[in-house]
Chain A
């Protein structure tokens, strides 16, 4: 066997196990769900199922689905905006003001909750929101819970891109006569955009797809696409409809991805 084909076999051997796993657990299921979304009923246990577009059409026709989809997107907007507004100053402080050991320690402290159990964190909010504040089971509760969950993510992405901005750029602009605010607005803000956009992308998508936080924190107020899809698979058991709605959500996500990707790509390539 010559060197070329030997190398090809090696590469195949190294990557195949992981990717076969991914195919079986992610790619094939997604395809299967796509198939299901066009069926009238779940084709198991002797039930007959035929091809139909009614679930998709239903989404476009029934107001309730539109409304829920909009509520999901709206939630995404609120959470993302709050996260970015709160995260930017924090990231700025970390990247440019606090130095040395303190910076490392604070950074670690900020990231830690993010990597701990999301469910438990959400649950912990029920304590606080119930007793003194009494806003549990309201829309703001959902927003607070989600902002809490994703704030570290936003701080992380903005921090990384701020860090990569050379201090000498700011100094140069100051030496040319720019005020602090001008230096920030004209130099730092634009250069940190990749981090901001990465944050938007990384927060918006999961928030649209969330159902656990809305249910736990919002109760009856959890009128969003996520919980609706979830119930198609549990209490209501209309899997084809759930599948169709899932793909609608996926389409929404992909559209967002497509729209924001030109802005994201340079950032992704730089950090890889």
Chain B
């Protein structure tokens, strides 16, 4: 039974990783048209360095993802704290409102943002993309930080109060340090969500400036440059490493 399970799981893993591995391999192949035999070459990575558009788009993605991480984590942590430590009438409603961004197809969210920003003059562009990304990241941040808050006994904050700490002191000296692994995990999560986000960025990108996923999409549609392979390889390695970091930090998170 064990053997069977492992074989099947192996097959599943193969299915999941095959295309990615092929793509990564092709990024190092000299041929532009995926012709075999395989000759190792970094030519596409070098070409990447000269591709202004892709580089600019990469920079935009990183920049937006970082700011998104900061904003979403801050806003989300505050809200998560309110949910974890207080009971109030609107709580249920507010928690329900976290669902739309992740359950409604991003196509609809993206197009509605496009309409609204267009109409109200906010317009398209990197700032619009940032607005959208934070909205998408918030539910994840609130869930991640919320889970960590739940694990953290409220008695710790109560103990701090009995020892004379004001609510602010207690938050700063007790809650925040203990929460840190969860907050960091949430920030990395938010970064990844923004960095990988395509649909919303696609609709909100202004002609000329966009994020990396959007650039890649356009390039694929237009006919295709092998540098895409190179940059895709880099992206996927970045995304996966980020997620590994989150998993490590969060799963074994607790006392460092």
| A adjacent to B, CB under 8 Å | yes
A128 and B135 contact, Cβ closer than 8 Å, known pairs A18-B142, A22-B97, A110-B12: no
Q: Which residues of A contact B107 (CB under 8 A)?
A: 209-211, 226, 229-230, 246, 249
Q: In whole angstroms, what is the CA distance A24 to B34 when docked?
A: 46
Which of B19, B97, B195 is within 8 Å of A128, CB to CB?
A: B19
Interface residues of A in 80-98 (CB under 8 A from B): 86, 89-90, 92-94, 97-98
What residue in chain B is nearest A36 (Cβ atoms)?
A: B115
Q: Min CB distance, B191 to chain A, in Å?
A: 11
Which of A43, A98, A116, A151 is within 8 Å of B239, CB to CB?
A: A116
Segment at the A interface, from B47-55, B173-181, B214-222 = B214-222
Q: Is B23 an interface residue (CB 8 A)?
A: yes
What residue in chain A is nearest B234 (Cβ atoms)?
A: A120
Q: Which residues of B contact A44 (CB under 8 A)?
A: 118-119
A250 and B108 contact, Cβ closer than 8 Å, known pairs A22-B101, A25-B135, A120-B236: yes
Q: Which residues of B contact A90 (CB under 8 A)?
A: 8-9, 12
B134 touches A21 (CB 8 A): yes
Interface residues of A in 39-89 (CB under 8 A from B): 43-44, 86, 89
- Count A interface residues, CB 8 Å: 79
Q: Is B40 an interface residue (CB 8 A)?
A: no
What residue in chain B is nearest A17 (Cβ atoms)?
A: B75
Which of A19, A115, A210, A233 is within 8 Å of B105, CB to CB?
A: A210
A21 touches B138 (CB 8 A): yes
Which of B79, B131, B240 is within 8 Å of A112, CB to CB?
A: B240
Contacts A15-B78, A210-B107 known; 17 new A-B pairs at CB < 8 A? A14-B79, A17-B74, A18-B78, A22-B97, A89-B5, A89-B8, A90-B12, A93-B8, A93-B9, A116-B240, A120-B232, A121-B19, A216-B217, A216-B221, A246-B107, A250-B104, A253-B105
Residues of B within 8 A of A (CB): 1-2, 4-6, 8-9, 12-13, 15-20, 22-23, 26, 34, 74-76, 78-79, 81-83, 86, 88, 94, 97-98, 100-101, 103-109, 111-119, 131-132, 134-135, 138, 142, 192, 195-196, 198-199, 202-203, 213, 216-217, 220-221, 228, 232, 235-236, 239-240, 243-244, 247
A-B complex: 8 closest residue pairs judged by Cβ atoms = A209-B105, A93-B5, A29-B116, A116-B239, A124-B23, A14-B82, A29-B112, A97-B5
19 contacts between A and B (CB under 8 A): A8-B88, A11-B88, A15-B78, A25-B134, A25-B135, A28-B116, A29-B109, A29-B115, A93-B6, A98-B2, A113-B20, A115-B239, A119-B216, A131-B34, A148-B16, A148-B19, A151-B16, A209-B108, A243-B111
